Amino acid sequence: MSDDTHKNAGDSAASSAPSESNPDISVRPARDADVPGLLRLWDACGLIRPWNHAPTDIAFARRGPNSDVLVAEQGGALLAALIVGHDGHRGTVYYVSADPAHRGEGLGRLIMDAAEAWLVARGIWKLNLLVRKSNLGVIGFYKSIGYGEDETVALSKPLRPMPHVDPEAVE
C-alpha cells in the first residue's frame, strides 16, 4: 500500500483547498511524489540540518494520525510547506517554508493558515512554535500573522539515537 493512502480521508482542513487569494494554488497533505520537491524546497530555504534527516522527518510526520506534512502547490510546483502536529495538548509546526522566488506573496501565511485549520479541526486551541536563535529575523513574519513571544525557555533532551543520522553530526 502506498503511503499516500495511509490517512487524510475526509480531512477537510487541508484537502486540496484552493487558496482564496490565488485559486490556482492548492493546499493539501503531501503525497509520496512530493518528497523530492519537499527536500529541494527545504534545502533552498536553509532548513536542512545534518543532525535531522528530512526524509525520515517527512515519513514520521505522515505516518500517524496526529501529524502531517502540508504543501501549497501550483501546477505541480511546491511553493510552500510545513510539518504540523499536536501532542494531545498543543499544536506545533516545523520546516515552515516558502519558495525563495516567491517571498512576500502570502505563501507563508497561506501554509500557516492551513496548519492552524488542521489543528483546529482536531480540537487543538493553541499553537506553540520554536525559532532558532540563528533565525530571529523570521520573528517579524510570525508577528505579522498573529504570533507573540511567550515568557518561556525551550528545553530538550534526546530520548534515543536518531534514526538514520550520523552521530558525529548531532548537535
Ligand X SMILES: CC(C)(COP(=O)(O)OP(=O)(O)OC[C@H]1O[C@@H](n2cnc3c(N)ncnc32)[C@H](O)[C@@H]1OP(=O)(O)O)[C@@H](O)C(=O)NCCC(=O)NCCS
Q: Note whether 138 binds ligand X by CB under 6 A.
A: yes
Shortest Cβ 75–ligand X spacing (Å): 18
Helices 35-44 and 54-63: crossing angle in degrees, nearest 10, is 130
Shortest reach from residue 117's CB to ligand X, in Å: 15
| Residue 147 and residue 36 in contact, taking contact as beta carbons nearer than 8 Å | no
Contact with ligand X (CB under 6 A) among 144, 163, 169, 170 = 144
> Within the chain, how many helices (H) and strands (E) appear?
4, 5
Cell reading at 141: 513574519
Residue type, 1: M
Q: Which three cell numbers stand for residue 22?
A: 490565488
Which span sits near ligand X by CB under 6 A: 104-112, 114-122, 153-161, 163-171? Answer: 104-112
Give the three-class secondary structure for 112: helix
- Is residue 40 near ligand X by the rule CB under 6 A? no
Q: Binding of ligand X at residue 131 (CB under 6 A)?
A: yes
Q: Which of 25, 96, 124, 127 binds ligand X (CB under 6 A)?
A: 96
Residues that bind ligand X (CB under 6 A): 45, 47, 96-98, 103-109, 131, 135, 137-138, 140-141, 144-145
